[in-house]
Amino acid sequence: MSRIGKQPISIPNGVDVSIDNGVLKFKKGNLTKELDTKNNVDVKIENGSIVFAAKGEDRQSRAYWGTYRALANNVVVGLTSGFTRQLEINGVGYKAAVKGKILELTLGFSHLINYELPEGIEASVEKNVITLKGSDKQVIGQVAAQVRGFRPPEPYKGKGIKYVEERIIRKAGKTSKK
């Protein structure tokens, strides 16, 4: 039995949820998100909450049960409070700036890196911390991984772009012969 799948999702005020042929539709203001359950799980709206149930007893439908519940919960959280991800830049001369929908990075290369932010993602830079905000958890994670991929942190001095909560395991440098 799925522990995650059993838990109902309470629908907060201001979020409209409807089911149309196995497609969950979430709407808050002008933001609309859809989640296709691909006919693998049963979805019901009862007493102001969304309830998921596995369609069969096979392994595949039980796996989808918890997965779709978690995805629906991410949509509800994204529409109500949103998601944030913070990246930290370490290194002499490394800096970032936001110009409209473009994140401009100076990371020690001979050229600037201009990264165009996807629709629905906002970025802000304070000193050496880049903050990404949006309503879609998957897109926020993907953008953060791509920005980190421009200059991943190296293990000797820790220079590069890392997540704020990430801990870099340092290696010892060369030692001289005594």
CATH number for the domain spanning 131: value is 3.90.930.12
The residues that bridge with 24 in the sheet, in sequence order, are 19, 35
Share of the chain above pLDDT 90, in %: 59
* Residues 111 and 159 reside in one and the same domain: yes
Indicate the number of domains in the chain: 2
User: Average pLDDT in the 79-91 region?
Assistant: 94
pLDDT tens digits, one per residue of 151-165: 999 999 989 999 999
Q: Torsion-angle region of residue 146: left (phi > 0), alpha (psi -120 to 50) or beta?
A: alpha
* Residues 17 and 74 reside in one and the same domain: yes
pTM of the predicted model as reported, rounded to 2 decimal places: 0.86
The confidence score (pLDDT) of residue 49 equals 92
Residue 1 pLDDT exceeds 70: no
Class of residue 166 by CB neighbours under 10 A (exposed 0-12, middle 13-18, buried 19+): exposed
* Domain end position, chosen among 54, 81, 108: 81
Q: Domain span at residue 22? A: 4-81
pLDDT tens digits, one per residue of 31-71: 777 777 767 788 889 998 999 888 888 888 888 888 888 98
Residue 139 pLDDT exceeds 70: yes
